[in-house]
Amino acid sequence: MDKLDPSAVRTYAETYLGLYRDALGSDLAAKGLNALLSDSIEAGAQNWTPALIDEFRRPRGYDPVPWFPALTGTVVESAERTDRFLWDYRRTISELLTQSHHTVLAAVAREHGLKYYPEALEGHRLQLGDDLAMRAAADVPMGAIWTTPRGQKPRQTFGADLQGAASVAHVHGKPLVAAETIHGIWGPLGFPPSDLKPGMSLAPLLGQYFSRNETWGDMAAGWTDYLARSSFLLQQGRPVADIAYFAGEEAPITGLYGETPVDVPSGRGFDFIDLGTLLEGTSVDADGVMVTKGGARYPLLVLGGSSRFMTFATLHRIRGLVDQGAAVVGSQPVGSPSLGDEKEAF
C-alpha cells in the first residue's frame, strides 16, 4: 500500500482488521486479540505519493516542482542549494511515513480496542524515516535484536534500535518496551538457553524454534519464570537518565550509530530524544531540568549526531530552552540543511 497516504493506510488497516471482526465478532479483545504489531519496514524506499507536492509546500514553505530535476541527479542553481532541496524532500517523506503510516495505524488499532506495537527500521535498513518518530505513537514501542553466535559481539546497530525503543518509552512515559528477538540464520535449533531470550521464530530459516517441542523445553520453566519476574520488576517505578541525546535531523539513529557507540560521558545514562518532543513536548523546571510531557527528566541536553546542521525552528527551540535555564552541550550549529530557511535568520 501507499504508506505516505493516510487514506490508503486507513482503508488497508480497517479492511485487514475487518477480516478478524467478521471471524471473531466485534469484541476482538474478548476473543484474545488485543494488539496490532507492525513489523520493521522491509518494503524498500518510497519517494512519491499523489499528494506529495501539497504535503511538501505546507511545511517547507516553497514549491518543489522547479527543483524536481534534482531527483534525477541534475544540479539545479548550485550543488549547495540542490543538496538543501534534497534534504527537504527526504524530510517530507520521513514526516509522511510517520504521520500517514504509523500514526494512522495506531489510531485505527485503538478504534478497534487494540494496543499498537510498532517496530521501526531495525538495523541498516535506512529508508527515509525517523525511527524515533515512527514509534512515538506506540502503546508499546519495539526494537529488534538478532541472536549473537557464541564468541561474537552483538551488532551495534541493534543496540541502537533497542536503545531507541527504550528511549521512546521513557520520553513518552510508556511502561513497556518489546523486542522481536532470538533471530538466527539457518540455525533453528542452534542455541541453548544461555544464548537466548524467549520469543517465537519467524520462518524456517529465521529464528530459534522456541516452543514446547524444544529439546530442552520441559526443563525451561524455572528460566522463563525468572525472565518473566525480572521483566515485571523492571516495569515498576521510573527509569532515570542524566542525558537527553538529540541526534539531529539528518538520519535515523540506526544510520548514525550503525556500528559506532554514542559518545556520552562514561557511567551516565541517556535517552535519545525525538525532534517532535524537543519542539513541542518539553519544558524546563525551576532547577533547570528539562522535563518531557511523559514525565522524563533530563539535567542535560546533548547535541550529537548530525546536529551541527539544524533547521531554524529547532535552533530557535533550543535557544528557548537555554533561556529557560536548560543546560545544553554540543558543537555550535553552523547552518541549516533546509532550502526553506533564511541564512540571515539562522
* pLDDT digits 0-9 by tens, 325-342: 999 999 899 999 999 998
The yes-or-no verdict on residue 236 having pLDDT over 80 is yes
Q: Which carries the bigger pLDDT value, residue 259 or residue 310?
A: 310
Report pLDDT for 108: 97
Q: What is the CATH number of domain 243-330?
A: 3.40.50
The neighbour count for residue 172, using CB atoms within 10 Å, is 21
Q: Are strands 290-292 and 297-298 parallel, antiparallel or unpaired?
A: antiparallel
Instruction: Note the pTM of the prediction, 2 decimals.
Output: 0.92
Report pLDDT for 126: 63
Report pLDDT for 139: 97
* 80-89, 117-126, 206-215: range with highest mean pLDDT: 80-89
Residue 206 DSSP label:
B
Spatial CA neighbour of 330 closest among 230, 247, 231, 267 = 247
Spatial CA neighbour of 257 closest among 336, 162, 170, 171 = 162
Q: Which carries the bigger pLDDT value, residue 281 or residue 127?
A: 281
The yes-or-no verdict on residue 4 having pLDDT over 90 is yes
Spatial CA neighbour of 335 closest among 64, 95, 83, 126 = 83
Residue 265: phi and psi, rounded to 5, are -55, 140
pLDDT tens string 191-225: 777 777 565 556 666 777 777 777 888 898 998 99
Instruction: Name residues whose C-beta falls within 8 Å of residue 62's C-beta, 6 or more positions apart in sequence.
Output: 339, 340
Q: In the block, which residue shows the cell 544461555? A: 194
- Calculate what percentage of the chain has a pLDDT beyond 90: 68
Q: Look at the chain and count its residues.
A: 346
Distances (CA, A) of 150 to 154, 195, 196, 198, 330: 10, 8, 11, 17, 38
Report pLDDT for 33: 95
Instruction: Name residues whose C-beta falls within 8 Å of residue 248's C-beta, 6 or more positions apart in sequence.
Output: 256, 303, 304, 305, 306, 307, 308, 309, 310
Distance CA 17, CA 13 (A): 6
- State how far Cα 107 lies from the chain centre: 17
Determine which of 53-57, 111-115, 116-120, 235-239 has the lowest per-residue pLDDT on average.
235-239
The neighbour count for residue 330, using CB atoms within 10 Å, is 16
The yes-or-no verdict on residue 25 having pLDDT over 90 is yes
Q: Indicate the burial class of 150 (C-beta count within 10 angstroms; 0-12, 13-18, 19 or more).
A: exposed
Confidence of residue 286 (pLDDT cuts 50, 70, 90): very high
Report pLDDT for 201: 54
Q: Are strands 300-303 and 243-246 parallel, antiparallel or unpaired?
A: parallel
The yes-or-no verdict on residue 303 having pLDDT over 60 is yes
Query: What are the sequence ranges of the domains in the chain?
Result: 243-330
Confidence of residue 282 (pLDDT cuts 50, 70, 90): very high
The yes-or-no verdict on residue 188 having pLDDT over 70 is no
Q: In the predicted model, what is the mean pLDDT of residues 173-193? A: 79
Residue 142: beta bridge partners?
Answer: 178
Report pLDDT for 186: 63
Can you spell out the DSSP letters for 72-130? GT---S-HHHHHHHHHHHHHHHHHHIIIIIIHHHHHHHHHTT-EEEE---TTT---S--
Report pLDDT for 200: 55
Distance CA 250, CA 258 (A): 14
Mean pLDDT of the chain: 90
Distance CA 264, CA 15 (A): 46
The yes-or-no verdict on residue 187 having pLDDT over 80 is no
Confidence of residue 137 (pLDDT cuts 50, 70, 90): very high
Report pLDDT for 159: 86
Distance CA 166, CA 164 (A): 5
The yes-or-no verdict on residue 95 having pLDDT over 90 is yes
Distances (CA, A) of 22 to 16, 28, 177: 10, 10, 31
Q: In the predicted model, what is the mean pLDDT of residues 257-283? A: 89
The yes-or-no verdict on residue 1 having pLDDT over 60 is yes
The amino acid occupying position 24 is L
